[in-house]
Structure 1
Amino acid sequence: MEAQKKRVAVLVGCNYPNTANELHGCINDVLAMKETLVKRFGFDDSNIEVLTDAPNSCKLPTGANIKQALANMVDGAKAGDVLYFHYSGHGTRIPSKKHGQTFHHEEAIVPCDFNLITDLDFRQLVNRLAKGASFTILSDSCHSGGLIDKEKEQIGPSSSVQKGSTSKTCYTLTHKTIPYDSIQQHLSSLTKVITTDIGTHLLELFGSSASLRFQTASHALLEALGPDEGILLSGCQADETSADMNPGVAGKAYGAFSNAVEMVVREKEGDLSNREVVVRARKVLQGQGFDQHPCLYCSDENADATFLGHPQKT
């Protein structure tokens, strides 16, 4: 008898309450997505782990906790399983001299403790995924394009896009980004180490749970292995910001991209391909006046595969 195929998800919402970086819609985003996963995509509630920084949260979305949850999901996967990671929170860009490019940047998400999780960490997770399983990442954060290192661009900066205008909504808009300099200053205030190298601060504070991007001699081991089952739907291009919308007392706060995906899924019956989800979400955001352009990074085959559908047998 064929083993039961599983659908497993890790959902992370970071609002950074009572800080200078506070957002308002991120927890709402992942709670709404949890309901959608169960009702529309057949996920079992027991296979969905939610990490938020809400006051009553049983597990905070620290860098170590997020990576442990993702590692458990990936390492427990078997052929045919569908894995999903939804992140709503701040993103940032890290200057890098990789490959001798002085102005090259790496993408990262910002957990509640500032223990950055970088594109290299997501590459490592995809590389160790069981053959025949799929791993979809939806990142509603700034600079999220390219968040899986070396994943092939399907819809992104090289695609023809029409720039939007200032948001037409009456909500308060906050960009989901924390500048690199602000992160560096925060970490240095904790370590008291005098250096401009962010990796030194992260290793000092978090040790082995710091990103692989800052660990010694890790880069050469994490090249892309050719077409893989990693699928990234990003809220914007790598050089853009994603919006967090706060209507105040008038309604519920939300992330613009997360909300657009929810709208696309609700409005279209039947299967949607990964490409369709991103193209339709772009149109929703453009119609709402947002100047951000969701992207898709994955293999050619997965671009037209069903969003959160079981992988096809090979």
Structure 2
Amino acid sequence: MEGQKKRLAVLVGCNYPNTGNELHGCINDVLAMKETLVKRFGFDDNDIEVLTDAPNSCKLPTGANIKQALAKLVDGSEAGDVLYFHYSGHGTRIPSKKHGHHFHHEEAIVPCDFNLITDLDFRQLVNRLAKGASLTILSDSCHSGGLIDKEKEQVGPSSSLQKGPISKTTNTLTHKTIPYDSILHHLSSQTKATTTDIGTHMLELFGSDASLRFQTVSHALLEALGPDEGILLSGCQADETSADMNPGAGGGKAYGAFSNAVEMVLREKEGGLSNREVVVRARKVLQGQGFEQHPCLYCSDENADATFLCQPQKTEQ
């Protein structure tokens, strides 16, 4: 239809199979979200790119492949486009060199090849959006709060929090984090450099595909430009971990706690939900299930109360 704007998505699930960092529910998370995007939010199956590290995957979720998919998503954007990125996998924190940084760390996601994608990379992506297009990021990973650098907190650490009870689930819970020291050890084992500077190892291994965090770039490219159309729904606060649940021998599918909570929230209410409502309701779901992670929302004031993924209104037949 002439004038109809695009609804495009990139979905990434990393289970890190046959490694010491193996997770179980991340691929299930993004496949479930793909179905939801098509059935509820009007996305076309052909406009959703899925990257997983499942056996026989045609395109692995390496750092370069993820950034290439996101660049295609953003650089082709036009006013009114609804863009969505869902990530389920490990996250980490990098010691910050920025004076006065709140947590003294910067947030990153961990692609299957450990080519970290950082909060600065997501900031630059948002800065490249066409005026009037929106980019919603849902990151079901540890330390995901603040994953878009300098995005305004709407629901986060300064919000009133009530801790839920300790989880009594019999399922196997894995925290979706790889400690910084483990990442540094993994990278340094593959390079000839003897330094403890992670940037040196990243640049030697990945070159121009390494995060902007480790390259010399203009600071102007990485500054927030005022209220923007970046929207981050994070599975937890920057100093918290997110859970990967594996029912194991008990049967049932493995899942990420936050991704599953969002799916539950969307099933419970048919009509449109604001970004704020999705996060607040997901918090309540997780609290009721006994999890001690607190989803957060980072975006402009206007987008906090905008409808999640601009859910199309149903037309009367």
| Partner Cα separation in structure 2 for residue 299 and residue 38 of structure 1 | 26
Partner in structure 2 of residue 191 of structure 1: 191
Please give the TM-score of this superposition, normalised by the length of structure 2.
0.96
Judge which range, 102-111 or 75-84, deviates more: 102-111
Map Cα deviations across residues 38-71 of structure 1 (whole Å, 9 max, x no partner): 0010000000000000011100000000000000
Partner in structure 2 of residue 15 of structure 1: 15
| Partner Cα separation in structure 2 for residue 242 and residue 48 of structure 1 | 25
Instruction: Summarize the alignment of residues 68-83 of structure 1 with structure 2, pairs less than 5 Å apart.
Output: 68-83=68-83
For 2:294, the aligned partner's letter is H
Partner in structure 1 of residue 223 of structure 2: 223
Map Cα deviations across residues 148-188 of structure 1 (whole Å, 9 max, x no partner): 00000000000010122322322100000000000000000
Instruction: Summarize the alignment of residues 19-98 of structure 1 with structure 2, pairs less than 5 Å apart.
Output: 19-98=19-98
Map Cα deviations across residues 11-49 of structure 1 (whole Å, 9 max, x no partner): 000000000000000000000000000001000000000
| Partner Cα separation in structure 2 for residue 186 and residue 260 of structure 1 | 32
For 1:131, the aligned partner's letter is K
The answer for unaligned runs of 5 or more in structure 2 is 313-317
The answer to whether the 8 A contact 1:213-1:219 is kept is: no
* Identity, % of aligned positions: 89
Map Cα deviations across residues 253-280 of structure 1 (whole Å, 9 max, x no partner): 0000000000000110100000000000
SS of alignment partner, residue 84 of structure 1: strand
Instruction: Summarize the alignment of residues 97-246 of structure 1 with structure 2, pairs less than 5 Å apart.
Output: 97-99=97-99, 104-246=104-246
SS of alignment partner, residue 85 of structure 1: strand
| Partner Cα separation in structure 2 for residue 12 and residue 77 of structure 1 | 20
| Partner Cα separation in structure 1 for residue 123 and residue 114 of structure 2 | 20
| Partner Cα separation in structure 2 for residue 242 and residue 225 of structure 1 | 30
The answer to whether the 8 A contact 2:41-2:311 is kept is: no
Q: CA deviation at 1:100?
A: 5.8
The answer to whether the 8 A contact 2:40-2:311 is kept is: no
Structure 2 residue 277 is the aligned partner of structure 1 residue 276? yes
The answer to whether the 8 A contact 2:229-2:300 is kept is: yes
| Partner Cα separation in structure 1 for residue 263 and residue 181 of structure 2 | 33
For 1:90, the aligned partner's letter is H
Map Cα deviations across residues 105-148 of structure 1 (whole Å, 9 max, x no partner): 10000000000000000000000100010000000000000000
| Partner Cα separation in structure 1 for residue 131 and residue 42 of structure 2 | 22
Map Cα deviations across residues 59-116 of structure 1 (whole Å, 9 max, x no partner): 0000000000000000111111100000000000000121365971100000000000
For 2:105, the aligned partner's letter is H
Judge which range, 135-144 or 248-257, deviates more: 248-257
Partner in structure 1 of residue 247 of structure 2: 247
Partner in structure 1 of residue 315 of structure 2: none
| Partner Cα separation in structure 2 for residue 247 and residue 82 of structure 1 | 34
Partner in structure 1 of residue 286 of structure 2: 285
Instruction: Summarize the alignment of residues 254-269 of structure 1 with structure 2, pairs less than 5 Å apart.
Output: 254-269=255-270
For 1:274, the aligned partner's letter is N
Judge which range, 2-11 or 173-182, deviates more: 2-11
SS of alignment partner, residue 302 of structure 1: helix
Q: Do the aligned partners of residues 243 and 227 (structure 1) sit closer, same or farther apart at CA in structure 2, a change above 3 Å counting?
A: same
For 1:229, the aligned partner's letter is E
For 1:280, the aligned partner's letter is R
- Once superposed, what is the RMSD of the aligned Cα atoms? 1.4
Deviation above 2 Å: which 4+ runs of structure 1? Answer: 99-103, 217-221
Q: CA deviation at 1:190?
A: 0.3
SS of alignment partner, residue 233 of structure 2: strand
